[in-house]
Structure 1
């Protein structure tokens, strides 16, 4: 196994991530081989495992990077006082649906593959990060008085449920999917509105 300097390791890891971005987007995780990833990055195939235990781990790293970008974008939207919760949910769905890596996880049923290949603690930490990200934003919305004072953890679960449901277009029916999701988001937005909550006090 070749020895790399820290600078070389950083450059090779970056090259593998870039190769993964291109090949996973084009071919998907299942059809992309380690050999294709290393050839694209310009290293020997055996050297791949110096950096990642599996191609699934590389995919997961890219997925986390993409989710970090999405979260930064959504954080800016969530902080806007003029944006309703329904508008926020619509934007969240739009950016998720446009992301090829996140779409593959659900469209190609890759979750099971990732669960098998990745350490449980890594997956759990990833899921926990959703709550770590959204909880302060929800609490901020509650403090500003435009979001109901329900448990932030429950509201995080509502957001996660909407995102998961968005990948069930075939089961919902493609001809009625858009209207169904739009109505559901509108109803959830109204239900979580502080004004709506106050009217029931």
Structure 2
């Protein structure tokens, strides 16, 4: 049974990468996997649920790669800038993760997934990065009067600004993101 589920997952991942979420349907996936459409529904309740499972796995892999590339001996501002740059490069290079920027598609998928799995199930935060924030707070490099989880929410807000690039004006990116990051980090690292 797990072999069939893995096969569906792998075929879907390949099709989502090649054709995108919108242009891939369940029958494409099952045809590529060499099985009946009904078999798909034995393992996944919807194309959206399967896509989110693949997206979350790819996102976790990217975040792990980013974390391994960070030079934690640098200042918090430099580390956060480096993390943002690595994350943005990874998101745009991976066709599945790139769907994040297609809000007309991704917003609906995420909403369905949250409704089915709860609000905590789609966690785009960097769990290991939370530990770094706590370490910076303990070392006096970052304000400790703000809860570390709230600081992570601030970082999430910075990341989410990217999805509004067109509304703000693409000519301002990535400079806007860098200025926002610098200003926020100055406020978070002012421990006086």
Bin for the TM-score computed over the shorter chain: 0.7 to 0.9
Note the 1:68-147 alignment, pairs <5 A.
68-77=60-69, 80-82=72-74, 84=78, 85-115=80-110, 117-118=112-113, 120=115, 122-127=117-122, 130=125, 132-147=127-142
Q: Does 1:30 align with 2:22?
A: yes
> How many pairs were matched up?
188
The answer for the alignment partner of 1:43 in structure 2 is 35
Q: Does 1:153 align with 2:153?
A: no
The answer for the alignment partner of 1:63 in structure 2 is 55
Q: TM-score, normalised by structure 2?
A: 0.83
The answer for the alignment partner of 1:4 in structure 2 is none
- Give the direction of change, closer, same or farther, for the CA distance of 1:90–1:62 in structure 2 (3 Å limit): same
Which shifted more, 123-132 or 176-185?
Answer: 123-132
Q: TM-score, normalised by structure 1?
A: 0.80
Query: Matched residues in 1 for 2:161 and 2:99: separation?
Result: 15
Gaps of 5+ in 1: 1-8
Query: Matched residues in 2 for 1:96 and 1:148: separation?
Result: 29
Query: Matched residues in 2 for 1:178 and 1:112: separation?
Result: 22
Q: Could you tell me how far 1:187 is from its partner in structure 2?
A: 1.9
Query: Matched residues in 2 for 1:17 and 1:184: separation?
Result: 38
Q: Is the 8 A contact 1:86 1:189 kept in 2?
A: no
Q: Could you tell me how far 1:164 is from its partner in structure 2?
A: 1.0
The one of 148, 158, 165 equivalent to 2:161 is 165
- Give the direction of change, closer, same or farther, for the CA distance of 1:33–1:127 in structure 2 (3 Å limit): closer
Q: Could you tell me how far 1:104 is from its partner in structure 2?
A: 1.1
Superposed CA deviations along residues 139-198 of structure 1, whole A, max 9, x for unmatched, are: 1222233332221122111111111111222112122222222222222232223xxx13
- CA-based RMSD of the aligned residues comes to 2.4
